[in-house]
Every structure is written in C-alpha cells, then in structure tokens.
A and B are shown apart, each in its own frame.
Chain A
C-alpha cells in the first residue's frame, strides 16, 4: 500500500512540532500550565494520562481546535513545520488543512456517500476536477486500508451505513485527502471492537512513515503498541516525555510509574 502523502513524492517535508509555554484556558480555568514539547518529524507520539489531565486539550491546541469552544483561549507558541500556528495572520482553516484530526467517535457526514465524504475537504478547497477527485479519493481510501472494502459501493452507500471501524477509516481517509503534514488522533479506536482497533493501529503504524502522528489514548497497551514516543500528562502538566519503551518499562518519574502500573490515586 502506498502510504505516502503526495507532498512526500517530491521533496520530503520535515514537519516537526515545537510547543513552547503552551497554556490553554476554559474561561478563567487554566487547563494546561505551560507545556513545552518537541515532536520529531515522522513517527507516532502518544499522549497518555488520566481523564481531565489535559491531553485532549493539548492536541486540540495543535490545530487550533481548542479555540472553537466558547470561552476557550490559548497562550504560548506552537510551531508546526514552517508555520507559527498562533502567529498573526495564519488562518485557522489553513492550519487545520495542514494538521488533520480524527476524533473518538467516527463522524462521517451522514447524508454524503463514502466518496463524497472523502472528497469533501478538497471540494471545500475548490477542487472540481473529476479525475483529480477520483485519484485523491482512491489514494486516500487505499492509505486508510478501506479501498478494497468499499470501491464498488463508495458512490452509492452513505458513510453512515458502514461499520464503526469502517466509518473511522473513512474519517481517516477524509483527513488524508487534503494532504495534511500532521495527523492528530483523539482516542481514534476507543469506540471500536478489537478487530477494527487492530486495523486502525496497523494503519497508524503505516502512516508514521510519512506523517507526524500524535495520538491521544486512554489505552496504554495501544500507546505502547503504536507509538515511538509517549508523553504523560497529569493535572495540566507534561510530567514525562520519552521513548515509549522507556516510559513503559522504566519511567523516570514516580507519577508516571504509578499511573501506568495502575497504582495511581
């Protein structure tokens, strides 16, 4: 399967993420207390931590989704590749095109066909050329490991008619179609059965070759299986950020140890 984004066909884009003193607020409540993190290009970074630790808020700050919540604000600096995403003059829409997101609950557009779901982002960006749309949809569905299952029905069947696992792969294909450099995933498999989960995990594993993937997960085994780096968040702070094998076999911070061994609280 060709998992390379089109931008990888020519010169390889190096998309690193540098987060400096990132603070996120819900009204006056500070949910993230000044996060600093450097995420390398390529590979999968997992974000783990108990409920309410700020992990979802953190990834939502990486593509300016946090500010879509009424009263939510962000301070600090996030640089993704060559763009300063909170810098003056960077449109949020452009940020979100370059930094795609997949959510916990699969959310295909229910009235659209599978094809139109995947093509939606391109159409929104003004692409009308049929041949180009066909190419992108096919490539995206292949990257999302869904092409063989839906190629004969993708123009007739709606996205909502698929199984949960297939719907999530449609959402991943939709995110890939606009050729992002970074893919953020917020609990992408938590609503799926083990077989669909393993397909998504396999897909994440393949995507890491060419995309920078950041995944939030409650499932520590999943973090251990798919990621090469893991960050542990607690009460709005990044407690530890290291190679995944180090975090899960010999973490440096006792709070990380207590959390991953289930002795937390």
Chain B
C-alpha cells in the first residue's frame, strides 16, 4: 500500500471539493446579486473568484507533483486527469459568475426595470447541476453523473426561451435593448455553467468507468 501516494490523492480530492464549494457559492452569490440588485453580493463574487483562482493553482500544482513523483496508473491516473479537468471547469464557473455580476453592476448604474426572464430559476438549475456533478465526484457515482448530463437540456431550453423573450423586448422599445442584452448574456453565462457541470459529470464517468463519453465518443 502506497500510504504517501494515497494521502496525496486524498488531499487532492479535499482540495477539489473545497474548490467546488467555492464555485457553487459564486453561482449563488451571482444569482443573489441579480435578484436583489445589490453591489455587496457583486463584491462577494469577486472575492470568491479570487479564492477560486488561488485554489485552482494549488490543485494544479499538487496534481502535477503526484504525476511527476508517483507515476500513477489506471484508476489513479484517470482520477488525477479528471481532477485537473474538473479544476479547469470550476475555475470557469467562477469566471461566469464574475461575468454575471458585471452585467448586474452595469444595470445598477442605469436601471430600466425587470426583464421577463426567470434568471433565478435558471441559476438554481445550473447551480444544482454543479452540486450534483460534485456529489457524483465525491461518491464516484457514475449513475448520478449520467443523470446530470440529462439535465443540461433543460438549461439549454430555458436559455432559448430567454433569447426569444429578450428579442421581443428589444423590438418593443429601444431603451430595453441594453437590459435585454444584459439578461441575454447572463442567460448565456448560466448555460455555460451548466455546460461546465456537464463536463464535470463526463469526467466523473471517465474516472469511474474508464471510458470517454464526450461528444458521443462511446458510440463511435
């Protein structure tokens, strides 16, 4: 039994889970900022994003050390590869949260009013996907990861609905163009977050089952 290596793997898992917690929090903070039009929440997102960036570097360093010093094989190798990729996805989730609050801050400067789009619900759905993908990672549960993949369609559908609604808004009056565009971009940020959750779920499946299901690779 390679105790030191196992400790390294455990540490890597802990660090990634903490990073996952930060990414989830940044999504919740971004949704709260949008919902409450509050600059305080925007500031929280910036701080969380900074913490995420620090965590990303730490995880990459530890993963690189383990690859270089321990020459992992088989499921250990797949695990570390999955962690490196999930790490990148979580960092991008933090970036998307920042993009959302930047739109919110813009809107705070020139408020126009509510846009008819259920951004909070979409945010809850995207955050839920990230949480479940991380759950799947914690428990090495490929079935749960598979279920996360299915939910991506819901978020995509909601994004298309927001797009149509915002186009209608823009056609209604010129002063709606900017807020409608902002809302549309926020919907796109949330849809990207769901895509990152999908990537995480695919990485979990790769780690656990040992095959790549991305881009329908399994069917080829």
A-side residues, CB < 8 A to B, are 220-221, 224, 248-251, 256-257, 260-263, 265
A251 touches B74 (CB 8 A): yes
A248 to B78, CA, bound (A): 10
A250 to B210, CA, bound (A): 6
**Contacts of A265 on B, CB cut-off 8 Å?**
1
A261 touches B76 (CB 8 A): yes
* Contact among B1, B5, B71, B75 for A257, CB-based, below 8 A: B75
Q: Write the nearest CB–CB distance from B28 to chain A, whole angstroms.
A: 36
Q: Write the nearest CB–CB distance from A137 to chain B, whole angstroms.
A: 38
Considering the complex of A and B, which 9 residue pairs feature the smallest CB-CB distances, nearest first? A250-B210, A262-B2, A260-B73, A261-B76, A257-B74, A248-B73, A261-B74, A260-B74, A261-B73
Decide: A249 near B2, CB < 8 A? Known: A221-B71, A261-B72.
no
**Contacts of A260 on B, CB cut-off 8 Å?**
73-74
Q: Write the nearest CB–CB distance from B5 to chain A, whole angstroms.
A: 7
A220 to B5, CA, bound (A): 16
A248 touches B71 (CB 8 A): no
A263 touches B2 (CB 8 A): yes
A260 to B72, CA, bound (A): 8
B1 touches A261 (CB 8 A): no
Q: Write the nearest CB–CB distance from A232 to chain B, whole angstroms.
A: 11
* Contact among A248, A256, A263 for B77, CB-based, below 8 A: A248
Q: Write the nearest CB–CB distance from A203 to chain B, whole angstroms.
A: 22
* Residue picked from A221, A261, A265, most chain B C-beta under 10 Å: A261
Q: Write the nearest CB–CB distance from A108 to chain B, whole angstroms.
A: 32
**Contacts of A256 on B, CB cut-off 8 Å?**
74
**Contacts of A263 on B, CB cut-off 8 Å?**
1-2
**Contacts of A262 on B, CB cut-off 8 Å?**
1-2, 5
30 pairs from A and B in contact (CB 8 Å cutoff): A220-B71, A220-B73, A221-B71, A224-B73, A248-B73, A248-B74, A248-B77, A249-B73, A249-B74, A249-B77, A249-B78, A249-B210, A250-B74, A250-B75, A250-B210, A250-B211, A251-B74, A256-B74, A257-B75, A260-B73, A260-B74, A261-B72, A261-B73, A261-B74, A261-B76, A262-B1, A262-B2, A262-B5, A263-B1, A265-B1
**Contacts of B73 on A, CB cut-off 8 Å?**
220, 224, 248-249, 260-261
Q: Which of B1-33 contact A (CB under 8 A)?
A: 1-2, 5
A248 to B72, CA, bound (A): 9
**Contacts of B77 on A, CB cut-off 8 Å?**
248-249
A184 to B10, CA, bound (A): 40
**Contacts of A221 on B, CB cut-off 8 Å?**
71
Q: Which of B141-177 contact A (CB under 8 A)?
A: none
**Contacts of B71 on A, CB cut-off 8 Å?**
220-221
Q: Which of B42-96 contact A (CB under 8 A)?
A: 71-78
Known contacts A221-B71, A249-B74, A249-B78, then 6 further A-B pairs from the complex at CB < 8 Å, ordered by chain A residue: A249-B73, A256-B74, A257-B74, A257-B75, A260-B73, A262-B2
**Contacts of B211 on A, CB cut-off 8 Å?**
250
Q: Write the nearest CB–CB distance from B7 to chain A, whole angstroms.
A: 13
A256 to B78, CA, bound (A): 15
A262 to B74, CA, bound (A): 10
A251 to B210, CA, bound (A): 9
A96 to B4, CA, bound (A): 45
